[in-house]
Structure 1
Amino acid sequence: ADMVLPPLKVPPARKARLAPSVAPQEAVTDAGPAVDCAPVLTLAAQPGAIAQITFAATCDPGAAIAVHHAGLSITGRLSDKGTFAADLPSLQRTATVAIELKGNIVATRTLSLPDFDRFARVALQWQGDSGLEIHALELGADYGMPGHVWAKAPGAVDDVLREDAGFLTRLGAGTGPTDTHAEIYSFPTLPQRQPGTVRLSVEAAVTRTTCGRKVSGRSFQNTGMGGVQQTELTLEMPDCDTVGDILVLKNLLRDIKIASK
């Protein structure tokens, strides 16, 4: 007889379950707080009709800048932290200062100087190593005497506030041929214990750099009516066998007349 086998028990088929697809996640890095690169310019009035300039452009450390004021232009350079500071004897009662960075004016401010009318002021601007200098002979002084104010005997604003004396401020940075520098001479105009005249001149030293070429600059002088008179200056310097000589220009700047008390 045939053998009959019991039916095999087959487990029910399992349905495959597919895991839901998950989109890959992008890595997220915390960028930290955003850096504020906006330039910041502040002006503060100081004794002596001086505008104290503070400028910051923290994203441009070491960059060259130009400071513009009343037609005057001075080259400066930001620190490694992107900051700059200077004391500017103002040529205006209401001083306007603008900062140029990378060829663009990035900040402008104005400042009122309450003691502006107490000072007569002249300025001289030039580019590169021109050898130009302001010399002031105050109230009868002669060269090399007290009262002869120039780059090597500039005086100080503190002297002006205490005595009948002027001071010279030299501004500008860099040694390149297009870097712009300036000297500004100030003398108090209120009636003095000693009346007289401050004799002003511009001198140009004949050096190995300047000999045999043209030297140019610009002078600035208060008009007494709140304006600033500007005069262009161009000198044909002598040949290089005259190195060491000095050219004296006595009529470029007007002398300052001082009344007695």
Structure 2
Amino acid sequence: MLTKPRTVALSLSTAYCALGIGFVMQAFMEPESPKFAQGDIQFDDITPTSSAAPMPRLRLPKMPAEARAPGQQTGPEGLQTAAANMGDMTNPAGTAQPNCRIDMDAVPAPGAMVDLSLSAPCLGGETVVLHHHGMMVTETLSPEGTLQASLPALNDRAVFVAAFDNGEGAVALTEVAGLDLMDRVVVQWEGDMGLELHAREFGADYFQPGHVWHDASGDMAAVAEGESGFMLRLGDTSVPNALVAEVYTYPTASTSKQGTVLMTVEAEVTAQNCGRDIMAQTIELHHGTKPRVQDVTFALPDCSAVGEFLVLKNTVEDLTIASN
């Protein structure tokens, strides 16, 4: 699952991928890797992950290896973008090969969002893992090899990596404005875990106005006016063992409201997760602070409880909102 060793490996692989396809990312990366918070979250009805017990690891897609055309120099003087341009080469017989170049663009959007456009003409219908500053989601390309996705930024110097199972990939960079004006909470997991992120704004009851979750996700117009938050579910859940994330955003700096947004992670007990310890990871950003990351394990009841819903208390912090 989403373990600390995997996160370290991801950081190294992401940097390696970026170098392999010719991007210089130094100006966009944090000066040091994010550190996981320890001991500062109280868990009720939750079993904290034990550092003494081995944790399952997600299958990290292979990142692109170094590639160079015959005759290219090695070392800094010869750093080339061969990995990105292999699809433009012709075969020895001189017959042009299909253009299999992988391209990805990132464009800032309102609400501290980023619109991604991915093109991989020779990988139509394939799955891809999108990485962004610790958040990871599985998506599926169209039969033509394209993907349009909107992701919430987790850093104002935003780096996005698309990684395919065959080792190919692409990187896109952009600057995002307004992230320091938001509260943003991420819960991510692998597979059909039955998890949901819920936000109940300013005393809202379940399934009433102000209860924001993936079936009542809010809208961007209300966010722009500072009236409410919005929820996104990311990841193609039709893919087995997909990486999935739910992200809640509240426009803290532009709201005229004050009070508390109650945040809960909830789990439906299903035939797939009953009697199991299921793992997830949370990422929290509070109006400009550095991301706070936590690995958590939930012990679910046995299969006699299938159909019940559990509130996993104190997994993420409630949001305290002051009027502006």
* Structure 1 or 2: more strand by fraction: 1
Q: Which residue of structure 1 lines up, in the alignment, with residue 178 of structure 2?
A: 115
- TM value normalised by structure 1: 0.84
Max radius of gyration: which structure? Answer: 1
Map residues 4-153 of structure 1 onto 2, 5 A cutoff: 34-104=97-167, 106-153=169-216
Letter in 2 for 1:72: M
* Structure 1 or 2: more helix by fraction: 2
User: Which of 237, 250, 257 in structure 1 is aligned with 2:320?
Assistant: 257
Contact map agreement 1:191 1:258 (CA 8 A) in 2: no
Q: Which residue of structure 2 lines up, in the alignment, with residue 183 of structure 1?
A: 246
Q: What SS class does the counterpart of residue 253 from structure 2 fall into?
A: coil
Superposition deviation, residue 224 in structure 1: 4.3
Q: Which residue of structure 1 lines up, in the alignment, with residue 90 of structure 2?
A: none
110 and 123 in structure 1: CA distance in 2 versus 1, 3 angstrom threshold? same
With 251-260 and 174-183 compared, the bigger mean Cα shift is at: 174-183
Cα displacement string for residues 145-199 of structure 1 (whole angstroms, at most 9, x for unaligned residues)? 1100011111122221134100001110143542111111000011532211111
Cα displacement string for residues 209-241 of structure 1 (whole angstroms, at most 9, x for unaligned residues)? 211122111111015444211111211211111
Return 5+ residue gaps in structure 2 as ranges. 1-92
Moved over 3 A (4+): 174-177, 223-226
194 and 251 in structure 1: CA distance in 2 versus 1, 3 angstrom threshold? same
Q: Which residue of structure 1 lines up, in the alignment, with residue 297 of structure 2?
A: 234
Cα displacement string for residues 22-77 of structure 1 (whole angstroms, at most 9, x for unaligned residues)? xxxxxxx995x653211100001111000101101101111111000111110011
Q: What SS class does the counterpart of residue 230 from structure 1 fall into?
A: strand
Cα displacement string for residues 80-124 of structure 1 (whole angstroms, at most 9, x for unaligned residues)? 000011110111112111010125362112211112122110011
Q: Which residue of structure 2 lines up, in the alignment, with residue 160 of structure 1?
A: 223
- State the distance in 2 between where 1:36 and 1:226 align: 43
Return 5+ residue gaps in structure 1 as ranges. 1-28
Contact map agreement 2:226 2:254 (CA 8 A) in 1: no
Contact map agreement 2:184 2:286 (CA 8 A) in 1: no
CA RMSD of aligned residues (A): 1.8
Q: Which residue of structure 1 lines up, in the alignment, with residue 275 of structure 2?
A: 212
105 and 72 in structure 1: CA distance in 2 versus 1, 3 angstrom threshold? farther
With 169-178 and 147-156 compared, the bigger mean Cα shift is at: 169-178
Q: In percent, how many aligned pairs have the same letter?
A: 36
- State the distance in 1 between where 2:306 and 2:245 align: 23
Contact map agreement 1:92 1:226 (CA 8 A) in 2: no
